[in-house]
Amino acid sequence: MVILKSPSEIEKIRQSNVMVAEILEILRQKVEPGIDTLTLDKISEKLALARNAKPGFKGYRGYPYSLCTSVNQQVVHGFPSRRPLKEGDILSMDFGIFYNDYYGDAAITVPVGKVSDVALRLMKATKEALFLGIEQAIPGKRLSDISHAIQSHAEAAGFSVVRKFVGHGIGKALHEDPQIPNYGKPGMGIRLKPGMVLAIEPMVNAGSYEVKTLEDGWTAVTEDGSLSAHFEHTVAITADGPVILSAATGKASKKN
């Protein structure tokens, strides 16, 4: 069941997401060769608690950390570790907040120092695909219009979209209906309505879209060892179009 949110509820979700955006921006600035992802995890938790908020992921279905850190061929749900990041790595950071009864959720992928041309193109295409998907989040469209826009752009750039993981609704629960695949034909699925709040999150691989989960039960990696990128925004559907709630500017915005 898709839960439509009132304007006051959307404002509360925005407050949580602004915190997520602020913390991700701080983490982005700390990413450099030599830092380890466990340090980034501890920083993210400290920053959440300083805002009187709870890390949204820690303890969720048993996940043991506050921050998901996925390096290179890791797709999503990577565990922070003591392994120092090195020049040429790419790092996906997925972070959530629980504040005032509502969740925020967003993700970015960042370069570690100077990275390859393939890595740069992959990150660029994935972020562009996210925004093209967001552009389809308007009343009257169908859910798969978002999915199709993401898939079309990623594949036109020579990459593939992950099938196993999806975006989702968000609100008082971290994962609500509907599920939002990042692939599919247009014009399918539920009709989009004002009041829907969606976490749209393309995961795009440089090689095959096939993924597998490691023995830790969480970390997903590409089957072929190719690089993967992940970007996510929480978006409210309004009568005036999509509004990005997880905007780093701290204001609800269509562009960020």
Over the stretch 73-125, which tens digit does the pLDDT of each residue have? 999 999 999 999 999 999 999 999 999 999 999 999 999 999 999 999 999 99
Residues 179 and 76: their CA atoms lie apart, in Å, by 16
Across the range 57-71, mean pLDDT stands at: 97
Q: What is the pLDDT of residues 116-156, one digit of tens each?
A: 999 999 999 999 999 999 999 999 999 999 999 999 999 99
From residue 100, how far is each of 3, 103, 155, 233 by CA, in Å? Answer: 18, 8, 39, 19
Element (H, E) at 42: helix 37-50
pLDDT of amino acid 156: 98
pTM strictly above 0.85:
yes
Q: What is the pLDDT of residues 187-202, one digit of tens each?
A: 999 999 999 999 999 9
pLDDT of amino acid 249: 58
First to last CA, the chain: 29
Residue 252, pLDDT > 50, answer: no
CA 218 to chain centre: 16
Residue 177, pLDDT > 80, answer: yes
Closest CA to 119 of 153, 92, 94, 93: 92
Name the one residue in this structure whose structure tokens are 């219009």: 145
Name the one residue in this structure whose structure tokens are 């950390």: 65
Q: What is the pLDDT of residues 26-44, one digit of tens each?
A: 999 999 999 999 999 999 9
pLDDT of amino acid 238: 97
Residue 251, pLDDT > 50, answer: no
Residue 218, pLDDT > 90, answer: yes
Residue 206, pLDDT > 80, answer: yes
Q: What is the pLDDT of residues 49-63, one digit of tens each?
A: 999 999 999 999 999
What domains appear along the chain, each with residue ranges and CATH number? 7-244 (3.90.230.10)
H-only helix segments in 81-176: 117-135, 143-156
Closest CA to 192 of 126, 145, 226: 145
Residue 254, pLDDT > 50, answer: no
pLDDT of amino acid 14: 97
Give percent above pLDDT 70 in the chain: 96
Q: How confident is the model at residue 253 (pLDDT cuts 50, 70, 90)?
A: very low
